A and B are shown apart, each in its own frame.
Chain A
């Protein structure tokens, strides 16, 4: 189907136009011009995606696959890769999420960025991001996916650092790119391992649908004593931890909040960070061969989930809370993947995309209204001033807290169920995380929307004086955002409300449309459908427990932050405040990385730079020393020994030259003398 390429190309065209001619369009046509171009491309792409989806649905479940082979790309040796796109149920879900939510965020951005002079650049980059993300999800082989994989990294870099005049933003951008690159490095190694292992078996391919059929051959293959499938999947998973912000490479995501809020919503909540989840699901056949890796994924997922949740509890920045919440929720998805419940993971991905995008956009609406105030301690009481924002935010918060019948309830419960079946310990940790999630999300709601307005309030001594100055003068101006911003909010809130109904489990009388839709994809991967034989009682019990835990979290938040019957300080003083400080300072992981990896690399780089300049360029100590010896013998102590052999050679030439120089008197007669003496000597030798 030729149209597939247009899903990808339209945003690219939009990006190309906006990034090259955008500033002119903005000047001549107006700000709306670039916004319409950007959003139009996103919407058009969404429209094509929908038709593709409909076309796909019309097919038999087993043969649901649309292909668009654009161009032979690389055909060298045993490598044969095309620029080709494929639409199957899994990528269809992703494409709809990316283009759908992407379009909404484009529209929102027009309202949010209403004061920014570089609107054209913003829309250009957003479109470029859509292009890259769509390449990632539509690519029919690993290499094309990798193009998107790194492409989203580029756009993420450019958009985090969108306000590049602030040093902190660019630092965050670079951090994001570099941590992603570490993951990409592992991803690349994993790809190469996979490719050559298969090539060794006579099936050199990187195309997903071919991989699905041939990866089984890897069983029994080993490299360095480790099964190839395990090694390859581990490497690929490290790639996923980079992109999807899992331990140990998650640290970039909270910093990435330096970007404009629509960017955080689109890239760092709804789409790009789910790329790792998508990749693992896409290669589920391979991952299913490596139980060890799946266990690692599950453990990393749960650890990340609870780890990030504990950090989120103490943060003051409205976006930081959401960022850690994203990390935590992504952990959930990986738990599902690790348990082999790929469909559940993708389901949570979709619902999360709705409510987290809505939360971010809501937060953006608040930030925008309060003139870029992000500290929750200076908010409060916005419920009445921004009713639409409040209601949509509340719906999404309930969704993420897992209250029925909102989206998060169904997807989270499915994951918890799968986790319980896999290992009750996973479930336990997941449950605690769910409670924490409910707590910190409602903490946020209460702090931001309820109570008295604390705008302009001075903070504890730790807060910077600059922030207080900066915000003193616009206390009274908070009001609801424009329609361009609230419309997407409402639509997304509807999604957060209803998206879960796609996957109502049979236990509750639904037929889990979502899992069924994805079943042709995951059928081959050995997804276990363990629901039936465990009995419905268990399922009900788990649901009730998780809802109760969520309610408990909400109640706690209510008591602490709204009724104030419990003082937050009592919690932060537990065990002399060590847990609080650990959480507030994000367990000092950043400091650890800076102190070890980054400082180590820089020190090594400086050492090598010195080595290069002094040792290599001054070559080999021996040569330098001999030059020194020679010069001492010569009576002069040479200071420039360092530059070594090169200069030694030069000096040697110079010495010989100096000797010869004496002959070079510049006097013509002298030259003739020499000439004649030479001739005479030759004649003497020859004739006598």
Chain B
């Protein structure tokens, strides 16, 4: 199945793990009503992307490119969570809530 054997761990394994993480992250983003929860879901999605990069780098022939991108992803994730959480805090301070179903000021 999918070129995945129990004996040699290859690219497909990693991709599978990454896919599971992605889907869980998405699920998290979709269902959470807590803004911080949503952010955590995004972290998961980013991590899954990171796994993909590093795996591709390991099993491909493009040197360290993948790893470099993984580093960038981590960096971006950090930036994103810092800002995201700051925003959440700001919102909380203003509206005393971080429940996304109540944060609908942007409704058109």
Contact = CB atoms under 8 A, between A and B. Distances in A.
B32 A669 contact: yes
B30 A672 contact: yes
A669 B30 contact: yes
A676 B31 contact: no
Contact of A666 (B29, B30, B31, B107): B107
A664 B35 CA distance: 18
B38 interface: yes
Contacts of B35: 668
B19 to A, nearest CB: 13
B108 A664 contact: yes
Given A657-B108, A661-B108, A676-B26, A668 B31 contact: no
A673 B27 CA distance: 10
Nearest to B102: A667
Contacts of A673: 30
B103 interface: yes
Interface in A623-665: 657, 660-661, 664-665
Contacts of A669: 29-33, 38, 100-101
A667 B29 contact: no
A657 B108 CA distance: 9
B105 A666 contact: yes
Nearest to B106: A666
A676 B30 contact: yes
Contacts of A657: 108
Dominant secondary structure of chain A at its interface with chain B: helix
Interface residues of A, number: 12
A658 to B, nearest CB: 9
A668 B100 contact: yes
B108 A660 contact: yes
Nearest to B33: A669
Contacts of A667: 100-101, 103-104, 107
B38 to A, nearest CB: 6
A661 B106 CA distance: 11
A676 B103 CA distance: 21
A660 B106 CA distance: 14
B39 to A, nearest CB: 10
Contacts of B108: 657, 660-661, 664, 666
Name the residue among A657, A660, A665, A666 with the largest chain B CB count within 10 angstroms: A666
Interface in B62-108: 100-101, 103-108
Interface in B13-33: 26, 29-33
B106 A664 contact: yes
B104 to A, nearest CB: 3
Interface string B30-49: 11110100100000000000
Nearest to B100: A668
Contact of B104 (A661, A665, A676): A665
Name the residue among B26, B30, B105 with the largest chain A CB count within 10 angstroms: B30
A669 B35 CA distance: 10
Nearest to A673: B30
Nearest to A657: B108
Contacts of B106: 664, 666
A311 B42 CA distance: 97
A673 B31 CA distance: 10
A666 B104 contact: yes
A635 to B, nearest CB: 22
Contact of B29 (A664, A665, A672): A672
Interface in A458-517: none
B103 A668 contact: yes
Interface string A26-53: 0000000000000000000000000000
A661 B104 CA distance: 13
B107 A664 contact: yes
Nearest to A663: B108
B65 to A, nearest CB: 25
Nearest to A661: B108
Contacts of A668: 35, 38, 100, 103
A662 to B, nearest CB: 8
B52 to A, nearest CB: 16
Nearest to B42: A672
A96 B103 CA distance: 88
Given A661-B108, A669-B38, 15 more contacts: A660-B108, A664-B108, A665-B104, A666-B103, A666-B105, A667-B101, A667-B104, A667-B107, A668-B38, A668-B100, A669-B31, A669-B101, A672-B26, A676-B26, A676-B30
Interface of B: 26, 29-33, 35, 38, 100-101, 103-108
27 contacts: A657-B108, A660-B108, A661-B108, A664-B106, A664-B107, A665-B104, A665-B107, A666-B104, A666-B105, A666-B106, A666-B107, A666-B108, A667-B100, A667-B104, A667-B107, A668-B35, A668-B38, A668-B100, A669-B29, A669-B30, A669-B31, A669-B32, A669-B33, A669-B38, A669-B100, A669-B101, A672-B26
Ordered nearest first, which 4 A-B pairs have the shortest CB separation?
A666-B104, A666-B107, A664-B108, A661-B108
